[in-house]
Amino acid sequence: MSAKGDEEVAEISSAALADGLGPEDDRNNQGKLGELCGRVASRGQIVGWAPQRDVLAHPSVSCFLSHYGWNSTIEGLSMGIPFLCWPYFADQFLNESYICVVSKVGLKLKATENGLISRYEIKTKVAMLLGDEQIKRIQWK
């Protein structure tokens, strides 16, 4: 995993595990995937592959953090799941615009000046997404 990849895993895990928006103890969170798997074991599971449509169809899924490839976009829309958009390249940016600007069923994640999505950005946008009445009315799941 690249240094940037390690930093992104650290930010995502901190956002997923944080109880609040305060500072976290990052000494034990260096972005190692194995450590993250152990830390989330009581609340979730990290796997190499899962049937995405089945996961999105589960009633406990309340939002979909995605890179916005076309298949993910169609599957998320077909399941009525609101999106957090994290595109990387190619058509993913166009798909993000469709989700966030045209359909208004998702929110864009904004990177810091060093190109990372922070744990605060993720946590804030999840809260905004789940509290947005317009998006709740659009969901049909």
Domain-wise residue ranges, the chain: 1-49, 50-141
Residue 57 · residue 79 · CB < 8 Å:
yes
CA dist 110 and 48 (Å) reads: 26
Q: What is the pLDDT of residue 84?
A: 92
More confident residue, 9 or 77: 77
The pTM of the whole model exceeds 0.75: no
pLDDT of residue 51: 92
Return the closest-CA partner of residue 87 out of 47, 123, 115, 50: 115
pLDDT of res. 74: 92
SS3 106: strand
Taking the alpha carbons at both ends of the chain, their separation in whole angstroms is 35
Give domain 50-141's CATH superfamily: Glycogen Phosphorylase B; (3.40.50.2000)
Which has the closest alpha carbon to 54: 32, 79, 33? Answer: 79
Whether the pLDDT of residue 2 is over 60: the answer is no
